[in-house]
Amino acid sequence: MQSVNPATGLLIQTYPEQSRDEVQNIILQCAAAFSTWKQTGFDERSRLMSQAAGVLRQQREALARLISLEMGKVLAESRAEIDKCAWVCDYYAAQAATFLQDEPVATEGSRSFVSFSPLGVVLAVMPWNFPFWQVFRFAAPALMAGNAGLLKHASNVPGCALAIEQVFRQAGFPDDLFRTLMIPATGVEAVIENPLVRAITLTGSEAAGSQVAAAAGKAIKKTVLELGGSDPFIVLEDADIPGCAVTAGQARMINAGQSCIAAKRFIIVESRLKEFETLQTAVMQAMTVGDPLDEITQVGPLARPDLLAELHQQVTKSVEMGARLLTGGGRHGTIGSFYQPTVLSDVKKGMPVYDEETFGPVSAIIPVKNEAEAIAVANDSEFGLGGSVWTNDIDRGIRVARQIESGAVFINGMTKSDPRLPFGGVKKSGYGRELSHYGIKEFVNIKTIWAA
């Protein structure tokens, strides 16, 4: 397994893959650690999870640099990612005992209540775009609930995967409670089939989610899937265009546009179209593309050359079909996997940037006549992860938000994940929820206990 710097194309390090026997042994060790961990009280779990937050903060600079080197995120965003991981550790350290306390229910019995107990070893199949955050938003609640964790990380961020395992060890967790599997995607099904693995969570592509869900379904195991997104960014006629255009740039360009909940389809009421086009184009053109380790850089490279090629094909085909190119539209430089911040307008159904998820710095502007058409276009997607609505009337924004088919809608704000709020999607964006009290209850046995 190779770690390659996407800003330079140069090899960072090679890691040996684990054999099938090594993987099965790790699963055995992880299950043994679970048998003890599940008996550990919440006070001790909380103490260790708080220490994990401390390790993250102590090693913030080194871990952030590792993220930037392996997958190209700009350093400021990598630091913010580590900070967010520490936050989710602190959050569940403080809240898990309350979330999972017995819930009394009045029945004819003398006592009846719902209890929550851990399932066992949970396999996490995780992506490269937020190589620490995606893992910690699963691991913090799963471990606090009393489960053990196995991580099959994306093959281009093996250094991050091993570093996360070390964070939990350095925090004082049992050595085998959270383990990394250094295996290719083809090795995942055998892990799912192992009877000691009780549940699977995946964040990634629609194709990967379908394959994992099929394997888990065959084995009758619980899954949570967070898949792709093509989030609508709806701008109504009474919106603050200067303000939302700045946020539009940020919402599209976080992680060089490689985010499931990045704004991707900018649905603009025609009366404000030209103003929005002008301002968003200016915002995108002003962004500094370059070395992610340079503090002045705002946009780093795409994570792999194949991702750049796929994105460029989506842009090129959409322009051939009539989309108007306002800025960008091609590779940036000749070294590394950099793509120009790009804005397309007059985007219509049938174009790749309308129908497909674009994982990179490309904005697709879709003009609509009114609010009703904006809602229809927003819902005209296979995905349903997040979205935002921009209007000076909050009540109107809430009314529109209720009609959007997605797991989250933000009004006059950028869509983002937050440990206090549930995160997940509908339609082909997946099912199940992470974060908040909903997330920690995904991987527990919700058990009824009744006494006469």
Catalytic sites, residue numbers = 226, 260
| Residue 436 confidence class, pLDDT cut points 50, 70, 90 | very high
Burial class (CB in 10 A: 0-12, 13-18, 19+), 373: middle
> And the tokens for 26?
């790790």
**How confident is the model at residue 116, as a pLDDT?**
98
pLDDT-derived band of residue 410, with 50, 70 and 90 as boundaries?
very high
**CATH classification for the domain delimited by 2-227+429-451, as one of 1.20.120.1200, 3.40.605.10, 3.40.30.10, 3.40.50.150:** 3.40.605.10
Tens-place pLDDT, residues 39-66? 999 999 999 999 999 999 999 999 999 9
Which fold would CATH assign to domain 231-418?
Aldehyde Dehydrogenase; Chain A, domain 2 (3.40.309)
pLDDT of residue 417: 96
CATH code 3.40.309.10 region(s) in the chain:
231-418
State mean pLDDT over 183-205. Answer: 97
pLDDT of residue 72: 97
User: What is the tens place of the pLDDT at every residue in 95-123?
Assistant: 999 999 999 999 999 999 999 999 999 99
Closest Cα to residue 343, out of 392, 388, 299, 282?
Answer: 282
Q: What is the pLDDT of residue 73?
A: 97
Average pLDDT over residues 144-169: 98
Model pTM? 0.97
Instruction: Determine the distance from the C-alpha atom of residue 325 to the mean position of all C-alpha atoms in its chain, rounded to a whole number.
Output: 29
First-to-last C-alpha distance (Å) of the chain = 58
Residue 385, amino acid: L
Give the mean pLDDT of 274-284. 97
Res 60: pLDDT: 98
* Spatial CB neighbours of 115, under 8 Å, sequence gap ≥ 6: 102, 447, 449
Length, in residues, of the chain = 452
Residue range(s) in the chain whose domain bears CATH number 3.40.605.10 = 2-227+429-451
The pLDDT confidence band at residue 281, using thresholds 50, 70 and 90, is: very high
Mean pLDDT across the chain, nearest whole number? 97
| pLDDT level of residue 306 (50, 70, 90 thresholds) | very high
Residue 169 three-state SS: helix
